[in-house]
Chains A and B, each alone.
Chain A
């Protein structure tokens, strides 16, 4: 069930009404309803993988309890590692086994040895990377004595499986979400209205910007060998907007839906394309994953306490792991490596925390220097996305090779419906203007400060609905579902 589908448009109001009007007197019933709804939501993809989700939930629930009950450090370590190994084992089998098998086969064949390891013919369970990380953060937090194990199985299961975040995040923390699940929730008009507004903006980003850009990006990446360098640059820019609007659109819908049920999820995006350097970009892009790696990998490795070179090593490690988390393909690892390279100057020269505030705060426009920094950062990000999008490493290098050729200075041209291309470019410009104006909010249209009158604001929302309807094509899956 996709957020941008008709079935979800029926599912959500039904759960909402049951939640607030029928089950509102009892918190446990509300949580049970949300859990059932979440399992139903997940089963709509493939009910067989529901067993995996339940198993993963049971594993972390019991290992968490065992750790809390045990005073012996060795025993606590045993339960922690049992959970980590089984969780990562599932991830490894379903997501990475074929990649490793293929890579080893290739490596051996380079030495003239023919090996034929088994390959698995299984599809990747949707959201496995996300709920595995939920579970891992929970058991690690118990081990570190940041939290105590949750004894109520329904509450814990809901923490792992809450449907808005189940398949593509944000990656929640037990310290943040569990207390909300255990607290009585009272309906709040402003929160609910804010949630609807965020859903609307998320749908707009997904349906109007991401799906339109996808059409051009897919065409250009699929036929990159026959296009000029300038056209390939255009393709990379379209993908840059596609992936941002696709993923942040999903996150906006997830956050908005959770708000409708009185739950605040972690913010995942904070206008990353207005960043002035790559370090700032990574503080604003997929925040829940970046902070997860910071807290559970970077800090345990020594973080930034051991001098510059340790910091450099740790930075490379988390970016390579982050790349690998995205998918079993060398393109993602190179993408992570490139981002580590881009961030290095600011790590070495200790400028990585220079831009903590949003750009041009309280002003209408950035200074020339800020603008040039934003542009340079954007270009680096676009460059790295080419690896992320390419089918394989050879495709990525060929793509780049064609970009850095004489044809870079030609006029972009490709087989496309010209009015549709112009419409898409106009929509991207409109989107950038709205994002810029709303960059001090949690999401762009949280407060439409320029529109003083309520009627203007309503007209704006209606316009978004109409535009979203007009550009709705076939339901396209969200990119991050594959991770």
Chain B
């Protein structure tokens, strides 16, 4: 019995040691050699989730790179921002998508729910600090351990194939051709699926990490803007608009907010209530390109632009909270 227990313990300990090696060695190599380089011509970089991923066609906006990624909460964006900024000195301006669903508690599920974590964690875990790892472990220890195995597998694959470049997998413009028309009810109104009581429960973690992103960018002397992509008037999360604006005002008063929520788009320019299709994205991106060329991102010029360069008949007005 003693011999059995001893040998079993030795086997288990050796296995754990080997597991530690296959986790930590590739992790170290990925941390050291990872590449997040983007073309030197890109001075403006956008981060966010699927709203901005579908809205900003960066091939139509000069000097602009869209690094948004579907279902990406700020927790993972923060890791990405750190790497992109540290490896791309040419970047001067950081835009961060800030829209209604990003304050919702659903973002917690996006951060540590298995479905989302198993997708995002292996990509960015090597760049997380101890506090970030601890947060995920505390929130969902069981799935965290499972995700570590996926991380190890992906890192080993990177090391074996000597592929340390993350550039192809950290986001980009997503073209949506809109295979079906926007769902409308018989009165021509959008079908809103949300039947919740209207109570808004916040994702404190997501908001904390947005703050961390802003602070990190400031620390690195980058200009930071929060951006809201166009959303359909019937978008379910518009219900939390008051809370959303209150949060913006209370916690992000110091950050410029480019609000394109009401940008005029027709129903056939939406892929769904929260996302633009290719047609909508083209129209919107073309507008953004003109705005940037006109200097909307330059301090002091924003209000002048709104007053003078926008067509008078245009009912959309980008809301700019100038804190400078």
Q: Which residues of A contact B (CB under 8 A)?
A: 6, 20-21, 187, 189, 192-193, 196, 419, 461-462, 465-466, 469-475
Which of B3, B8, B146, B152 touches A196 (beta carbons < 8 Å)? B8
With the chains together, A21 CA to B5 CA distance in Å? 11
Q: Which B residues lie within 8 Å of A189 (CB)?
A: 1, 3-4
For the complex, give the distance between the alpha carbons of A192 and B14 in Å: 19
Chain B contacts with A in 159-210, Cβ cutoff 8 A: none
15 chain-A/chain-B pairs, Cβ below 8 angstroms: A187-B1, A187-B4, A193-B7, A196-B8, A419-B157, A462-B18, A465-B15, A466-B19, A469-B22, A469-B152, A471-B149, A472-B149, A473-B146, A474-B114, A474-B143
- With both beta carbons as reference points, the residue of chain A lying nearest to B1 in the complex is identified as A187
Closest 3 interchain pairs by CB?
A472-B149, A470-B153, A465-B15
- The smallest C-beta distance from A150 to any residue of chain B, in angstroms, reads 29
CB neighbours of B313 from chain A (8 A): none
Residues of B within 8 A of A20 (CB): 1
Contact A471 B153 (CB under 8 A): yes
Residue B312 at the chain A interface, CB threshold 8 Å: no
Task: Find chain A residues with CB under 8 A from B18 CB.
Answer: 462, 465-466
Q: Is B255 an interface residue (CB 8 A)?
A: no
Given A21-B1, A193-B4, 16 further pairs, Cβ under 8 A:
A6-B142, A6-B145, A187-B4, A189-B3, A192-B4, A193-B7, A196-B8, A462-B18, A466-B15, A466-B22, A470-B149, A470-B153, A473-B118, A473-B150, A474-B146, A475-B142
Residue of B nearest to A24 (CB): B1
With the chains together, A473 CA to B149 CA distance in Å?
7
Please give, as numbers and ranges, the residues of chain B lying within 8 Å of A187 by CB-CB distance: 1, 4
CB distance from A218 to the nearest CB of B (A): 14
Q: Verify if B11 is at the interface (C-beta below 8 Å from A).
A: yes
Smallest CB separation, B211 vs chain A (Å): 31
Q: Tell me if B125 counts as interface (CB < 8 A to partner A).
A: no
Question: Which residues, 133 to 149 on B, are CB-close (under 8 Å) to A?
Answer: 142-143, 145-146, 149
Q: Which residues of B contact A419 (CB under 8 A)?
A: 157
Q: In the assembled complex, which residues on chain B have CB atoms less than 8 Å from the CB atom of A473?
A: 118, 146, 149-150
| Nearest neighbor of A189 in chain B, beta-carbon distance | B4
Q: How far is the CA of A470 from the CA of B147 in the complex (A)?
A: 10
Chain B residues bordering chain A, tally (CB within 8 A): 23
Q: Tell yes or no: B128 within 8 A of A by CB.
A: no
Residues of A within 8 A of B22 (CB): 466, 469-470
Q: Is the CB of A469 within 8 A of B19?
A: yes
Does B156 lie at the interface of the complex (its beta carbon under 8 Å from any beta carbon of A)? Answer: yes
Mask of B243-256 contacts with A, CB within 8 angstroms, 1/0 = 00000000000000
A461 and B156 form a contact (CB under 8 A): no
**Residues of B that sit less than 8 Å from A by CB:** 1, 3-4, 7-8, 11, 14-15, 18-19, 22, 114, 118, 142-143, 145-146, 149-150, 152-153, 156-157
Distance between A5 CB and nearest chain B CB, rounded to angstroms: 8
* Residues of chain A within 8 A of B143, CB atoms compared: 474
The answer for the CA separation of A419 and B163 in the assembled complex, in Å, is: 14
A470 adjacent to B152 (CB under 8 Å): yes
Complex Cα distance A461/B18, Å?
A: 12
- Quick check: B1 and A470 within 8 Å, CB to CB? no
With A189-B3, A473-B118, A474-B146 given, is the CB distance from A462 to B14 under 8 Å? yes
> Chain A nearest CB: distance from B14 CB in Å?
7
Chain A residues with Cβ under 8 A from B19's Cβ? 465-466, 469
Known: A6-B145, A189-B3, A193-B4. A474 touches B118 (CB 8 A): yes
What's the least CB distance linking A75 to chain B, in Å? 48
A472 partner, pick from B1, B8, B146, B157, beta carbons under 8 A: B146
Task: Pick from A20, A469, A473 the residue with the most CB of B within 10 Å.
Answer: A469
Question: Which residue of chain A lies nearest to B3 when distances are taken between CB atoms in the complex?
Answer: A189
Nearest CB to that of B115 among chain A residues? Answer: A474
Of B1, B19, B145, the most chain A CB neighbours within 10 A belong to B1
Q: Give CA–CA (A406, B179) in the complex, Å.
A: 27
Residues of A within 8 A of B14 (CB): 462
Docked complex Cα distance between A97 and B3 (Å): 53
Q: Across the two chains, which residue of chain A brings its CB closest to B141?
A: A6
Closest to A461 in B: B11
Shortest distance in angstroms between A84's beta carbon and chain B's nearest beta carbon?
42
Q: Which residue of A lies closest to B7 (CB)?
A: A193
What's the nearest-Cβ distance from chain A to residue B141, in Å? 9
In the bound complex, residues from chain A placing their C-beta under 8 Å from that of B145 are 6
Report the Cα distance A471→B151, complex, angstroms: 10
Q: How far is the CA of A189 from the CA of B15 in the complex (A)?
A: 21
Docked complex Cα distance between A241 and B146 (Å): 23
> How many angstroms from the CA of A328 to the CA of B14 in the assembled complex?
47
Which residues on A sit within 8 Å (CB–CB) of B153?
470-471
Chain A contacts for B146, CB-based, 8 A:
472-475
Interface-centre pick from B22, B146, B152, B153 (highest chain A CB count, 10 A):
B153
Cα separation A465 to B17 with both chains bound (whole Å):
12
CA distance A471 to B154 in the complex (A): 11
B23, chain A: closest CB distance, angstroms: 9
Q: For residue A207, which residue of chain B has the nearest CB? A: B149
List chain A residues, Cβ under 8 A from B156: 470
B27 to chain A, nearest CB (A): 13
Measured between C-beta atoms, what is the minimum distance from B89 to chain A in Å?
33
**Which residues of A sit under 8 angstroms from B1, Cβ to Cβ?**
20-21, 187, 189
A448 CB to nearest chain B CB (Å): 15
In the complex, A148→B118 CA distance in Å? Answer: 55
Residues of A within 8 A of B142 (CB): 6, 475
CB distance from A1 to the nearest CB of B (A): 13
Give chain B residues whose Cβ lies under 8 Å from the Cβ of A471: 149, 153
Given the complex of chains A and B, what is the CA–CA distance between A472 and B147 in angstroms?
A: 8
Contacts of A21 in B (CB 8 A): 1
Which B residues lie within 8 Å of A472 (CB)?
A: 146, 149
- In whole Å, how far is A18's beta carbon from the nearest beta carbon of chain B? 13
Which residues of chain B are within 8 angstroms of A192 by Cβ–Cβ distance?
A: 4
A208 to chain B, nearest CB (A): 11
B115 CB to nearest chain A CB (Å): 9
